[in-house]
Structure 1
Amino acid sequence: MNGPSERPPIADHSVAHQAVDLDGLVGDGPFAYCRGKLIGTPRQAGLVVPCRDLGDRDVFDGIIARYAQKFPGSDRRAIVSMWTLYYFSMLTIAPSVHMFVNRIALPMEIHGLSLVCNEQTGEPEAFVMSGSPEIAVDPAAELHRLMLGHAEPVISAIAANSGVAPKLLWNNAAAYLSWILKEIAHRHEPALVEGGLALLNDAEWPGGGRNPMFGMIRMARQQCGLEFARRKVCCLRYNLPGVGGCGEACPLPDGRH
């Protein structure tokens, strides 16, 4: 088990509001896969698009057209869903690690963030932040702000531009959020992410309003007694050639191959 004392959180830094080396904080440890996902300046290579512009149908269709070249003739809904799996993995995994482990509040609202896509494939590769990280006094509140300030508007925009149901997109986001919070709990302690898990398990958002992620991840049990997480809504990835199914996580038998 890796304890939270392995690397000092931002709250222990003498100057919390100066530039923070996010990649340095995760280092080569168990969350090394977060490196390079949240950056302060655009890379030389890659297509950079303001996240708010994903609501522009022409912009969104142009990105998806690049990604769709990997799956000629395939169901566009499945293509869009698969693309958002990359997007929501970046939106939930690295930010959750920094919020709950390093106690960093990140500027992740949709209007202050840009997306870096692979220039050839259109795959999401990183987010460029225009603001500066600060101390996270309440990580669960920061995660809630991320859901309301970014996940909600981007899901509405993508659903409107693609015909993919919002509940499918929310399930894509919930699947990664559930996974990373449980990873943090396993490697640190469950109490660390209790407030974050409530954003998946409570029927209402803090302060009121329906929680669109409620019930999206369900615990099931195999015949041998082993518990596993299963989605409520299929992500449709099994319709794409060369892409493996989700195994037991898929709610549809066809998607478990």
Structure 2
Amino acid sequence: MAGDASGEVSTSNGKEGFIANPAFDLDRLVEKSPFSYCRGKLLRTSTGSGSVIPCSDLREAATLNDVISRYASKFPGSDRRAVVSMWTLYYFSILTVAPCVHLFAHRIGLPLGLSQVSIVCNEDTAEPEAFLMTADTFTAADPGAELHNLLLGHVEPLVEAIAAHAVVAPKLLWNNVAAYLAWILKEIAYKHSRERVEDGLALLDEPIWPDGRRNPMHGMIRIARQQCGLEFSRRKICCLRYNLPGVGGCGEACPVPDGRQ
């Protein structure tokens, strides 16, 4: 596939999934696809609404605590750990879902290192809404390697900072990442093919990453079976969202009975 300046995609080199020209419209690529929910999540220019926070600033205690305090205003008196976890669910969903669609379905690489992007949050509640990129997209010859870079260069340092400043277990945060990653990779596999996302699934499932390091997401998503025999995915660690007023539980995906309501 090759992309022109308008974002139109056409086959030009006979190699499926390869984009030779990085000048394309990300939203246009997905607007009429099964992944249209990815529109508006990865921005090149600010929309002028919401507050824009450099993602690297979230490693600073003052910035992170200000964001979480603003978000906590939605849930007065609630368990702060649940508030933090819920905020990261929004954050990590945006960081994994749309990028994986572009990586594995379109072979488009995205500049999403922690120092390369800002998070656009709701002006009042600081709820994450989109990422604002400061660099251009590029051809992703190895989507699995690019996803690995995203996990090492963005997720890992942010998880360390949130765990340190917000007193939330790193395992809970990694499980939040794994939940969305498992879901979107399976969606891409269903709409395209499993072969297309095998490298991504390996980063999720294998105990050791390609660089020889222990995979912090290994075993975080487990396959369970209902009495009727139907299989479904279940988290290893509860995200605590059921402790927040007005927020529903995760159903069968939750490892805690109270969270399945």
Q: TM-score normalized by structure 1? A: 0.94
CA deviation digits over 1:216-235, x for unaligned, max 9?
Answer: 00000000000000000000
Q: Counterpart of 2:58?
A: 54
Q: Does 1:83 align with 2:90?
A: no
**Separation in 2, partners of 1:219, 1:183:** 16
- 1:190 equivalent to 2:194? Answer yes
Structure 2 equivalent of residue 27 of structure 1: 31
Describe the shift of the 1:103–1:239 C-alpha distance in structure 2 as closer, same or farther (beyond 3 A): same
2:3 — aligned with what? none
The match for 2:141 is: 137
C-alpha deviation, 1:46, in angstroms: 0.7
C-alpha separation in 2, matches of 1:40 and 1:12: 19
* Alignment match, 2:156: 152
What do the CA deviations read for 1:167-223 (whole angstroms, capped 9, x no partner)? 000000000000000000001111110110001110011120110000000000000
- Displacement of 1:237: 0.3
Q: The residue matched to 1:111 in structure 2 has which SS?
A: coil
AA at the equivalent of 2:199:
G
Aligned residues: 249
Superposed CA offset, 1:53-85 (max 9, x none): 001111111111111111000000000000000
Instruction: Indicate conservation of the 8 Å contact 1:40/1:128, yes or no.
Output: yes
Of 232, 239, 242 in structure 1, the residue corresponding to residue 243 of structure 2 is 239
List 4+ stretches of structure 1 deviating above 6 A. none
Inter-partner Cα distance in structure 1 for 2:60 and 2:155: 16
| Displacement of 1:11 | 3.3
Q: For 1:155, give the aligned amino acid.
A: V
Write the distance in 1 (CA, Å) between the matches of 2:194 and 2:9: 19
Helix, strand or coil at the partner of 1:11:
coil
Contact 1:8–1:102 (Cα < 8 Å) also in 2: no
Select 1:256's aligned residue among 252, 255, 260. Answer: 260
| Equivalent residue number for residue 116 of structure 1 | 120
Letter in 2 for 1:141: A
| 1:188/1:70 CA distance change after superposition, 3 Å | same
TM-score (ref. length: structure 2) = 0.93
Q: The residue matched to 2:115 in structure 1 has which SS? A: helix
1:174 corresponding residue in structure 2: 178
Provide the rounded CA distance (Å) in 2 between the counterparts of 1:63 and 1:109. 20
Q: Matched residue of 1:48: which SS? A: strand
Deviates more, 1:39-48 or 1:212-221: 39-48
Question: Secondary structure of 1:161's match?
Answer: helix
Question: Which structure 1 residue ranges, 5 or more long, are not aligned?
Answer: 1-5
Structure 2: runs of 5 or more not aligned: 1-7, 12-16
Which residue of structure 1 aligns with residue 96 of structure 2?
Answer: 92
Q: CA deviation at 1:127?
A: 0.4
User: Secondary structure of 1:79's partner?
Assistant: helix
SS in 1 for 2:232: strand
Q: Which amino acid aligns with 1:83?
A: W
The residue that corresponds to 2:107 in the other structure is 103
| 1:230 maps to 2:234 | yes
Counterpart in 2 of 1:11?
18
Q: Identity over aligned residues, as a percent?
A: 63
